[in-house]
Each structure stands twice: as structure tokens, then as C-alpha cells.
Amino acid sequence: MKKISKGMLMTALICGAVYLGGSPVYASELQEFSLDEYVVTAARTETKLVDTPANITVVDAQTIEDRHYQDVSEVLKDVPGATVLDTGVGTFEKAIKLNGDERVLVLIDGRRVSTDMGLTNSARASVDMNQLPDINLIERIEVLKGAGGALYGSDAVGGVINIITKKTDVAYGNVYVGVGSNGTKDYSAMYSGKEGKTGFIVSASQYSQDYYKYKDKKSGSTKRWDYPSDYENNKITFRLDQELSDVSNLTIGYDYSKYDGMSPSSSGYNSQEKETQNIYAKYDWTLNDEDNGYIQYYHNELDYTNLGIYDIYGSPLTVGYISEKTNGVDIQQELTINDSNKLVIGANWRKADVKTKGDNNYDESIDNVSFFVTDTWEFIPTWTLNTGVRYDNHNKAGNEITMSAGLNKKFNDASHAYFNWSQVFKAPNADDLYYYSDMGAWYGIYKGNQNLKPETGDTWTLGYASDITEKTSFGINYFESNLDDAINYLEVAPLLHEANNVDKQKKRGMELTLSHKLNNNTKLQASYTYIKVENNDKGLGYKRDHKYMPNNYRVGINYNENKFDANLWLRYGSGGDTIDRGYNTAYLESNFITVDLSLTYKPVENISIFAKAYNLFNEAYADFAGAYNGSYNYPAQSRRFIVGAEYKF
């Protein structure tokens, strides 16, 4: 009966949306952007969405503010085609998937922050979302779904997330305070200003939670973890922008984050600490009043300590340390050939020194040099062809040339159809090659493989988007991805798991999006995403990957009138695998539904008071597959609330 009621609810919401508005929405409109807006991620140069042959979602600062998102991972949970692997537990990592793929490149203002090591819980992912910039620094987030390997390199198989921070051209500041369930405390402050030709921005934040509560699927009761589950996340950012001339600018900056606390598990708890420090400098210029170029240097440091599983006496059973220091240089120049043709040429160099201690001991370096050229050509009025070629020289994976092509047909300023294709080259990360961990009798040994080959293949997307009326927008796309030599851990002997190149991996799916303004105060938004992932391990035939919920629905209603703003968001997943196909792999139910609510009141222009509810109906579910003896290994947090205020000046 429960499953029937959930299906009926989703059908009613989607059908009601179509009845009220007509048709599904383009992803960018869903985030308050129109097809006439500009993006920079898809072609490495500024282009209008309507001229871009790609599936892109843009989340702007106003949307972030209205919905009172707490961090980047929470923003991405509302993006169609994106899945956040959130164990929900303490200091455990949060990874992102785009189009069902964890191989996602994450940039901040076009600067790489993805690591060359790989995450401990999501080996194909390269960024812990907990370490990304404080939410109040963000001007917008561009999410490119579909391979960007020919443009951005090895990690951009599933897509690219480019976090674009606020400018320093005006004086602006805010102070934010929030408190909530489970001892939650959330504080932040930022200020930007400009004196003459010098601009600056500074930000600091702290988020902490005293303990973790969840609704247990087996008993149906809301519980607090038996072990300590407190954690804290501190972040500091400073950036200086100096105008050197009318056509050149110098930026230097520093980002710091420290995330530490406990991560409880069924057998004890881990004490973990993760610290990042990123230093960067960028010199940019403009040629001929239209062609932008830049050279930038970045130094990223990651230090991670895991005291492992504690025994009943409070002593750590294992101790692990990870250190990665990455230095990189990027250079890029736009070249306008004529009114209908623009080139972008560039080069990248990156070297990562990775050290680990504990069960997993290695000290290695990974470096890569690459060159790329892209061409945007309007060869016939309203028809644009985007092409790209990239050469990579990777010290572990060898040399590779990858290409991409995209075709865009603009019907008018509010509608377009597109097709894009890209080759894939994904070098093994450091853990793929060198990882080793003995996890005992329950989990066995996991080890890397220095004989791995790079993952190769191609991916393509076909789509259409239209702002049908001033009130209604529509979007649809279909994508496929086919990889050879995809890397995965296989059980090569009892309790011995080794990284291997499986024969094949394929992904396919579709995305429907909808937005309709019911009236001047109320807006309805909805999306449906289908993703199917299959692996063919050593020629044994394609089998569905059980870690994915293939069907994902999102429905949101926004109401805004004068000083009051309300947002209700529903997320529904279905089709999860309830059959255990390996130790702790299944979902306990094939579907789940969760609802979030945010309310904001502005008594005066520069003060906001808000309240937000997560998992409003206290659903027992998990974003991260894995269950044992009727309970989830990584249950999502139970119903919780946060209230707070923000002051702008």
C-alpha cells in the first residue's frame, strides 16, 4: 500500500504540473536562468545557453539565497541529472555523480580542485563536497552534464561543475547565524569591497553538529547513534583583485577548510580530520576588446587523518594518513577569426605528489601535460558547430588524443536543439594503482593494480529546450556513455578485491524538465531523470549496477509575495535494487520519498529570518546503498530543523 501511495503521489504531481502549465522545463529556467543568459563552462568561452550544444543547469545566487542552501552538496541535490552520494554520517565524504558517473571534474572559477587520489568511499570520484567553498561566496554554479574530456581532460567523463564566485566590484557584506536540531550551529560572515583599482573579498564560516539521528528502517523508530557522531567544518577564504590596466587584471587568493569529527559505523566509529589549503594566482587580459586570455598557477594541499575503527576501550585499531600536494599551471587564449568563428587554445600542466601511511603505504607522483584547441563556428545562420581536440601526456597512462563535436540549431532566442559527442580518456588515479587496505574478516582486502590501463570510450547527448511562453519552459534530452576498460574492484579470490579493467561499462538515460509560473507569486518546477548503469565484467554479460536508483523525480513549488518566500521540494527515487548481490549492497526498499521546506520572512530589506525543515515526514531511507540485517548502513538523517537570520550591509 505504501508503494502504491507514493507512485500515485508522484503521478498526481507530474500530471498536475502538465495540466497547469503545458510541458516540462529546460534545466536552466528551473534555476531562474533563461536561454538568453551566458555560460562559460561548455565551450571554455562565454556563450549564450541558446547557442550552446550541451545540457547545462545553472543555479544562481538568488536561488541559493531563497532556498537557504547550507552547502554546495545541498544545491546539487536539486539539480536534475545530479546525484549526491551522501552517507549522511559525520565526517564521511560526499561525492557527486552526473548522468550516473562519479568521474566528475570540479572547478572553482575555472581552476581545478579535483584531486588525483580518489575518494575512500567513492573510488571514481575526486572531490569531497564538504571541502568546497562557503555557500555565501557563490555567484552561480554551472553544471555541465555529459563528457567534457576533450575540453577539460581526464576527470570530466560524467561532466563538469564550475563554481563561480562573487566579484569584488562593489562593497557588500553579510552575517549569518543558524541553529537547529541535533545541536546544529551554523555561522558565517563575508565582506567584499573595492578601493580604487583594488578589490577584495574575505569570508569565514563554521558549521557543527553535536550528534546524528536517523529513523531505523527495521524498528521504525528514530534513533541516535550509539557512538559519538559530532563533527565541525571551518572555512576561510581571502581573495585580492588588482586592476593593472584597462585590459588586464591580477588575482591572488587563499582557501582554507578543516573538517573533523566522528563517523560512526555499525562496528564502532572513526575519528577523522581533513584539511585543505589552496593558493592561487591568475593574470588575465583582453585582446582587441573581445578576446580574453589568462595564465594561472595553483597549489592545492590535502591532509587527511583517519584513526580507524575504535575498539570498546577507546583505542584506535588502525591509523591512516593521506597527503596530496598538487601544483598546476593553466594558460588559455581566445582568438576571434571573424564574426562567426572563434578559437580557444590552451595548455595545462599538473603534478600531484601523493603520500599515504598506515595499512595503505605509498609515495608517488602523478603528472600530466596537455594541449587543446576548440572552435565555435556559426557556419550557417542559426547553426553552430563546436569542435575540440586535446592531447594528453600522462606519466602513468601514456599519450592520448581525444576529440569532441557539438551541433546546435537555434530556432529563436528562446529555443534550440543540440547534439554533442565526446571521446573519453580517464587515467587511473593514485588509489586505483597503489591502494591497499586489510579491512578484516567482514570486508577482506582491497588493493590497487599498477597494471591498469586508462578508461576510454565515448559519450553523446541529444536534446531540445524551449521557453515556450513567458510562463512555461520545456526541456528533454537523451544521453549514452560507453566505456572500454572501465575500472572497478573485483573479487579475484575469496575476500580479496583488486582494481581491474572490466570489459565494458555503459550508461544511458534521459531527462525531462518543467517550469511553469502559475501566477505572479507562484512557480511550479518538476523534473524526471532516468539513468541505467551496466557493467560487463570480463565478458560475462552486462549486469545492472545495483548502487543506483534509476528513476529520480524532483518537484518544487515556490511562493513569493512581498516580504514572504516559501519553497517546498519533494524528491522521489524508485527502482532501487533490493536483492543483495554482494556484502551490504542492496536497498531495503526499491523507492523512497523525502520533502524539504524553507520559509523566509524579510521584515526590512537587509534582514532575513528563515526556518527550514529537512525530511519533513521523517522517512527512513538512504542515498548510499548498503544494508545489513534489516537496517541501512548509511541511513539518511531523520527529520530536523534549522532556524536563523541573515543581515546584509
- pLDDT tens figures, 237-260: 999 999 999 999 999 999 999 999
The answer to whether residues 66 and 565 touch, using CB atoms and an 8 Å cutoff, is yes
The three grid cell numbers given for residue 606, joined into one nine-digit string: 537587509
pLDDT for the residue 438: 78
The DSSP letter of residue 637 is B
pLDDT for the residue 590: 87
195 Cβ neighbours under 8 A, 6+ residues apart = none
- Residue-wise over 618-641: b if at least 16 C-beta within 10 A, else e? ebbbbbbbbbeeebbbbbbbbbbe
Q: Which of 11-25, 274-288, 442-456 has the lowest mean pLDDT?
A: 11-25
pLDDT at 502 exceeding the cut of 80:
yes
Question: 471's torsion region: left (phi>0), alpha (psi -120 to 50) or beta?
Answer: alpha
The answer to whether residues 538 and 108 touch, using CB atoms and an 8 Å cutoff, is no
277 Cβ neighbours under 8 A, 6+ residues apart = 254, 255, 256, 300, 301
Residue 604's pLDDT band (cuts 50, 70, 90): very high
Dump the DSSP string for 361-377.
-EEEEEEEEEEEEEEEE
pLDDT for the residue 251: 98
Residue range 527-555: mean pLDDT, rounded: 85
Which range of 92-96, 551-555, 560-564 scores highest in mean pLDDT? It is 551-555
Residue 601's pLDDT band (cuts 50, 70, 90): very high
- Our CA dihedral for 100, 103, 109, 110, rounded to 10 degrees, sits at -120
CA-CA distance, 279 to 298, in Å (whole number)?
A: 6
212 Cβ neighbours under 8 A, 6+ residues apart = 88, 89, 90, 182, 224, 225, 229, 264, 637
Q: Bigger pLDDT: 357 or 348?
A: 348
CA-CA distance, 467 to 209, in Å (whole number)?
A: 42
- Our CA dihedral for 75, 80, 84, 85, rounded to 10 degrees, sits at 170
The three grid cell numbers given for residue 74, joined into one nine-digit string: 545541498
CA-CA distance, 69 to 163, in Å (whole number)?
A: 15
Residue range 444-458: mean pLDDT, rounded: 91
Give the type of residue at 467: D
Please give the mean pLDDT across all residues of the chain: 87
pLDDT at 77 exceeding the cut of 80:
yes
CA-CA distance, 300 to 302, in Å (whole number)?
A: 7
pLDDT for the residue 7: 41
Residue 583's pLDDT band (cuts 50, 70, 90): low
76 Cβ neighbours under 8 A, 6+ residues apart = 82, 84, 96, 129, 141, 143, 161
Q: Which of 78-87, 121-130, 364-373 has the lowest mean pLDDT?
A: 121-130
pLDDT for the residue 28: 35
How many Cα atoms within 13 Å fall on the side-chain side of residue 466? Answer: 12
Dump the DSSP string for 204-264.
EEEEEES--EEE-TTT--EEE-SS---EEEEEEEEEEEEEEETTEEEEEEEEEEEEEEEEE
- Of the chain, the percentage scoring pLDDT greater than 70 comes to 90
Residue 4's pLDDT band (cuts 50, 70, 90): very low
CA nearest neighbour of 93 among 125, 117, 115: 125
Residue range 474-486: mean pLDDT, rounded: 93
Class of residue 313 by CB neighbours under 10 A (exposed 0-12, middle 13-18, buried 19+): exposed
How many Cα atoms within 13 Å fall on the side-chain side of residue 377? Answer: 11
Pairing of strands 198-209, 213-215: unpaired
- Residue-wise over 59-87: b if at least 16 C-beta within 10 A, else e? bbbebbbbbbbbbbbbbbbbbbbbbbbbb
The answer to whether residues 25 and 514 touch, using CB atoms and an 8 Å cutoff, is yes
Q: Bigger pLDDT: 372 or 442?
A: 372
Which range of 232-236, 467-471, 489-493 scores highest in mean pLDDT? It is 232-236
381 Cβ neighbours under 8 A, 6+ residues apart = none
Model pLDDT for residues 138-150, shown as the tens digit of each residue: 999 999 998 787 7
Model pLDDT for residues 259-315, shown as the tens digit of each residue: 998 887 666 677 889 999 999 999 999 998 889 999 999 999 999 988 776 655 666
- Residue-wise over 333-363: b if at least 16 C-beta within 10 A, else e? bbebeeeeebbbbbebebbbbbbbebbbeee
pLDDT for the residue 10: 36
CA-CA distance, 6 to 553, in Å (whole number)?
A: 12
pLDDT for the residue 317: 65
CA nearest neighbour of 252 among 294, 292, 297: 297
pLDDT for the residue 312: 55
